Amino acid sequence: MNAANTSSPRLRRRAASAAAGLAIVAYVFAATAFATRADEFQSGIPETSIATSLPPALADPGGVRKDLANRGILVGANYIGEVFGVAAGGLNRDTHYDGRLELWFDADLNALAGWRGLTFHANGYQIHGSSITAESLGALMPVSFIEATPATRLFELYLEQSLADGMVTIRAGQIAADSEFIISDGAAAFLNGTWGWPSETASDLPNGGPAYPLATPGIRIAITPHETYGVMAAVYNGDVVDDCPPGDDPQRCNPHGLDFPFGDDALYMAEGFRKFDVRGRPGRIKFGGWLHTGDFENIANPSMIESGNFGLYAIWDQQIFKLDNDGRNIAVFARIMGAPDDRNQVDFYAEGGVTVTGPFSTRPNDLLGIGFAYTGISQSAQIADREAGQSIVRDYEALLEVSYTANLVSGFAVQPDIQYFWNPGGRVPDASGTRPVENALVLGLRSTINY
């Protein structure tokens, strides 16, 4: 699948992007110079930080976080480290370690410069280790949502304006769609990347779309007239990299997240939600879709060009049983997506599962999840395989994941995880070229520290 880019000169786009970035940075520094103290005392330590369990000297060395918070600035870090191994099947039986350090910065520009309702956010990653999905599995649904090409990179950088007492918010800058769109509450229980940014959008949008670890310039507006319903819409630059040759790793084409690509065909996204109550048990439904204005090759007939691309989705989260009155509960979730067959490798995606918050009365903050996900290969892609003389024709990939999150103290958790893949890669040949990659069993363990 290829999307055509507009013909804006690359240097002009880079210059405009650099100017915009410098303008934002200049504004933030100017605002800091005129900082005023916030009216309300803040500790500067997030409620979910391990710092709440540490001595003051470690939680806030020198009182820096407290001092910044009093000026409207919050800073933090988190680290995820994990080990995964292929216990059966796959491409090989290797074991992999990967990790991600995130640093984030939030500024309240009302406290800093008297601009009511305006905030600034930036975060970046140091990503290291190896990818079990790429090297040992070849799956469409990545084993871990932190897997990425090793790099130190900027992710999101944006300003957000709140209006009408918070009923309207506008976000603009370098932003990611997967931080706000197509999100199910049930996804929080799992490690596989498809529960966040689904394999359909990751496969069908140019270079994977605006999702971790590649954000792109865009603007998003959210309108929430009432806490029980609302809508949001966004427009993004339609590609996350500039001039990346076909087949190259887009993360290497934009290695530090500093390219700020601009001038490509647009990607539009829209989503609405409605919360409800069923006999005292909360639920939520979402409906949304995406539209890309670029040109896409016809999968079965590459000489034909299809104008535009789109997808639709629906999400349902529902608590079904209360284990007590203090938050322990059982919930179910489901998500379904579809896209045109003729221009997409993946035209259907579905998932569902059950989560248990506080599965044991002695562990009220733990989380158990059991989920199943299905990625359907389009008929056009199957036709293309046959016409290319492939001995093995792709059809689908499926995943079963069981994960348990043990929250040991606030801000520190360990998470054993089991994943089983049917038809990794959608049923693709192994190294011999004559047999499909075997169904695979993956075992893993993650630790997460928020500071």
Give the DSSP per-residue string, 308-361.
Answer: EEEEEEEEEEEEEEESSSSS-EEEEEEEEEE--STT-SEEEEEEEEEEEESSBT
Integer Cα distance of 257 and 77 in angstroms: 19
pLDDT of the residue at 119: 97
For residue 171, the cross-strand partners are 160, 220
Residue type, 344: N
The DSSP letter of residue 260 is -
Asked if the model's pLDDT at residue 25 lies above 70, the reply is no
Return the structure tokens found at 336. 């379904």
Q: What is the rounded CA–CA span in Å between residue 210 and residue 148?
A: 14
With a cut of 60, say whether residue 354 has pLDDT above it. Answer: yes
Residue 135 DSSP code: I
User: Is it the case that residue 2 has pLDDT exceeding 70?
Assistant: no
Mean pLDDT across the chain = 91
CA distance 28 to 278: 46
Quick count: other Cβ atoms within 10 Å of Cβ 226?
Answer: 9
- Residue 344: phi, psi to the nearest 5? -135, 140
Question: Do the Cβ atoms of 418 and 399 come closer than 8 Å?
Answer: no
Strands 73-90, 329-338: pairing is unpaired
Single out the residue of 218, 217, 196, 214 nearest to residue 206, CA to CA: 214
Confidence class of residue 275 from pLDDT cuts 50, 70 and 90? very high
What pLDDT shows up at residue 197?
Answer: 98
| Whether 317 contacts 355, CB under 8 Å | no
What is the mean pLDDT of the segment spanning 68-72? Answer: 92
Whole-model pTM: value is 0.89
Closest CA to 448 of 415, 399, 400, 419: 415
Between 418 and 247, name the one with better pLDDT.
Answer: 418
Rounded to an integer, the average pLDDT of 5-27 is 42
3-state secondary structure 82-105: EEEEEEEEECCCCEEEEEEEEEEE
User: How do residues 215-241 score in pLDDT, each as one tens digit?
Assistant: 999 999 999 999 999 999 999 999 999
List of domains in the chain: 10-36+71-450 (2.40.160.180)
Task: For the beta carbon of residue 111, count every other beta carbon within 10 angstroms.
Answer: 22
Q: Which of 198-207, 314-323, 330-339, 431-440 bottoms out in mean pLDDT, i.e. has the lowest?
A: 431-440
- In tens, the pLDDT along 417-439 reads 999 999 999 999 998 888 999 99
Please give the Cα distance from 134 to 441 (Å, whole number). 15
Predicted local distance difference test score (pLDDT) of residue 216: 97
Please give the angle made by the CA atoms of 45, 47 and 53, to the nearest 5 degrees.
75
Given pLDDT bands bounded at 50, 70 and 90, which one contains residue 19?
A: very low
**To the nearest whole percent, how much of the chain has pLDDT over 90?**
84
pLDDT of residue 36 exceeding 50, the answer is no
Tell me the two tokens of residue 165. Answer: 């007492």
Q: Is the peptide bond before 213 cis (omega within 30 degrees of 0)?
A: yes
Closest CA to 306 of 292, 323, 286: 292
pLDDT of residue 243: 85
pLDDT of residue 42: 64
Residue 30 has pLDDT above 50, yes or no: no
Give 227's DSSP letter: T
Query: Mean per-residue pLDDT for 60-67?
Result: 93
* pLDDT given for residue 14 in this prediction: 45
Residues in the chain: 451
Rounded (10°) CA dihedral 419, 423, 424, 430: 130
pLDDT tens-digit map of 370-383: 999 999 999 999 99
Hey, which residues does 313 pair with through a beta bridge? 288, 337
Structural contact between residues 350 and 313, judged by C-beta atoms closer than 8 angstroms: no
> What's the pLDDT tens digit per position in 117-150?
999 999 999 999 999 999 999 999 999 999 999 9
